[in-house]
Chains A and B, each alone.
Chain A
């Protein structure tokens, strides 16, 4: 079985501040990990993915995430938040022979 836990259903940061969205996973086999972003009334868009190559993964819009096997984590970060980053973010896990499983999401609010 596999699962994803996203700590904090709502996160608020000031514009220009560090963005940190937490994701912990559970998987009995080596995982593949993804971060998706969803803007209002739109579908999900892939930000970045870890597929067992480099543990530090860089994505679009200045986001990056680090796979830490010892902590079973894949937290998403961005050094400086922009108003346009306000959206819902989903962490997801898959593994060989298994479907993609999403977390429950984190709503990011960026304050002026």
Chain B
């Protein structure tokens, strides 16, 4: 079974530039998550989708971050414009979607973003 795919794996940009990350979840998984993991910290949820609808985006900085999940499969996360403090690993995860609290989340390898 293929896992969660993410690209690119690494990205270096200058502040005020834009960047986009792509995620392809495990086939059949209805729920998709984007997390931000800053060095030395645990992952922090940015946004959660159930199919193509947003379930929770309470911690997404909406002035600069946006995400979409068209057709309920792939998802993209965009930052525009980037700030130095956005340097982090961006993790995508997916789950079956039966129970948002006890579902096992399967994580991709992440995209490491460096903002200079």
Contact = CB atoms under 8 A, between A and B. Distances in A.
Query: Are these two chains actual partners, yes or no?
Result: yes
Interface in A78-102: 90, 92, 94-100, 102
Q: How large is the interface on B (under 10, 10 to 19, 20 to 34, 35 or more residues)?
A: 20 to 34
Contacts of B44: 102
Given A102-B43, A102-B44, A43 B91 contact: yes
B82 interface: no
Interface SS of chain B: loop
Most chain B beta carbons < 10 A, residue from A32, A44, A51: A44
Nearest to B110: A43
Q: How large is the interface on A (under 10, 10 to 19, 20 to 34, 35 or more residues)?
A: 20 to 34
17 contacts: A42-B109, A44-B91, A44-B105, A44-B107, A46-B105, A49-B102, A90-B42, A90-B43, A94-B101, A95-B101, A97-B101, A100-B45, A102-B42, A102-B43, A104-B40, A105-B40, A105-B41
Interface of B: 3-4, 40-45, 48, 56, 91, 93, 101-102, 104-110
